[in-house]
Amino acid sequence: MTGVSKAPRRAEGRRSLRADGLGLLFCAVMAFPVYWMVLTAIRPAAEIRSNPPRFWTSEPTLEHVRRAMASETFWSSVRASVLVGTGTVVVSLLIGVLAAYAVARFSFAGRRAFVLVILSVQMIPLAGLIIPLYLLLSDAGLTDSLTGVILTYLVFMLPFTVWLLRGFVAGIPIELEEAAMVDGCTRAGAFRRVTLPLLAPGLVATSIYSLVQAWNEYVLAYVLLSSNDKQTVSIWLVSFQTSFGTDYGALMAGATLTALPVVVFFMIVQRRVAAGLAAGAVKG
């Protein structure tokens, strides 16, 4: 008996060792561009141009990072991006949480249609909407204003927020609200005192996720914002590209600076967002 069961186990072990090797190789290949970006950002300029390339550096330097940060519009673009991101998140959360609550807790005529619209809106390619959005905002005198950008970002942020929060609300047992109402709370009171505190992690996850989206968006900001002091980080990075040409050290430093906050935030909330999306997908 033991002899029989041992052989497959050893084969199993060998197979999982091979799988592990493959998995690590995959990690190395996937992570290489990120590694190369950071390495280029922190190595001396002479090393960047070495041929054959070297895959580590013995003398890291912050020279490129300093140069990137010293670029005229860096801090103003960070400021613009933070403002746009925060504005979008606040507006979409304020109105999105209401709709999410309605969809998760009420059954009403038109609920299904509403959900379908929320879902299909996410399919519309943004590129197709740039022209009319631009015309709309230029009619309203909101081109070259951060408010205008915030409004347009609602197009893709709001449906997503509603969908994600709906999953989080559905995850909170309705019995808790009912108990509060039996104890004399109004429905709004039960929402404020019971559901909202429990929803906090979901709200945080959703807002960080949206913040990341706003931070990364390029085309709309590029079309809508023309003054230098209102450009967002994506625009900064691209204009950096053209003005610095092939100064890849500074460029990769800029890329690293742009990516860093996003990657850190995203890694923090990713699990929660995935859970919320899964909860959202299960119940239509």
Kindly state the smallest distance separating residue 72's Cβ from other proteins, in Å: 19
Among 6, 14, 19, 204, binds other proteins (CB under 8 A): 19
**Residues, the chain:** 284
Residues 204-223 that bind other proteins (CB under 8 A): 212, 215-216, 218-219, 223
Q: How far is CA 68 from CA 107, 233, 267, in A?
A: 53, 12, 25
Q: Which one of 116, 192, 204, 226 is in contact with other proteins (CB under 8 A)? A: 116
Q: Is 33 in the site for other proteins (CB under 8 A)?
A: yes
Binding segment toward other proteins, per CB under 8 A, in 20-28, 63-71, 72-80, 82-90: 20-28
Question: Which position among 45, 62, 126, 204 is part of the footprint of other proteins (CB under 8 A)?
Answer: 126
d(CA 6, CA 204): 50
Give the shortest CB-99-to-other proteins separation in angstroms. 4
Contact 276, 168 (CB under 8 A): yes
Instruction: Assess 284 for contact with other proteins (CB under 8 A).
Output: yes
3-state secondary structure the chain: CHHHHHHHHHHHHHHHHHHHHHHHHHHHHHHHHHHHHHHHHHCCHHHHCCCCCCCCCCCCCCHHHHHHHHCCCHHHHHHHHHHHHHHHHHHHHHHHHHHHHHHHHCCCCCHHHHHHHHHHHCCCCHHHHHHHHHHHHHHCCCCCCHHHHHHHHHHHHHHHHHHHHHHHHHCCCHHHHHHHHHCCCCHHHHHHHHHHHHHHHHHHHHHHHHHHHHHHCCHHHHHHCCCHHHCCHHHHHHHHHHHHCCCHHHHHHHHHHHHHHHHHHHHHHHHHHHHHHHHHHHCC
| Segment interacting with other proteins, rule: CB under 8 A, options 56-64, 70-78, 82-90, 181-189 | 181-189
193 scored as a contact of other proteins (CB under 8 A) = no
User: Per CB under 8 A, does 196 bind other proteins?
Assistant: no
Q: Which of 8, 60, 173, 197 binds other proteins (CB under 8 A)?
A: 173
Site for other proteins in 34-93 (CB under 8 A): 34, 36-37, 40, 48-53
**Can you tell me which of 172, 211, 224, 225 binds other proteins, judged by CB under 8 A?**
172
Nearest approach, Cβ of residue 70 and other proteins (Å): 19
Q: By C-beta, is 36 or 75 nearer to other proteins?
A: 36
Of positions 57, 61, 71, 241, contacts other proteins by CB under 8 A: 241
Select from 56-64, 70-78, 82-90, 130-138 the region that touches other proteins (CB under 8 A): 130-138
| Torsional class of 110: left (φ above 0), alpha (ψ -120 to 50), beta (otherwise) | left
- Stretch of residues binding other proteins (CB under 8 A), selected from 2-10, 63-71, 82-90, 194-202: 194-202
Binding segment for other proteins (CB under 8 A), chosen from 1-9, 58-66, 70-78, 123-131, is: 123-131
**Sites for other proteins among residues 141-170 (CB under 8 A):** 151-152, 154-155, 158-159, 162, 167-168, 170
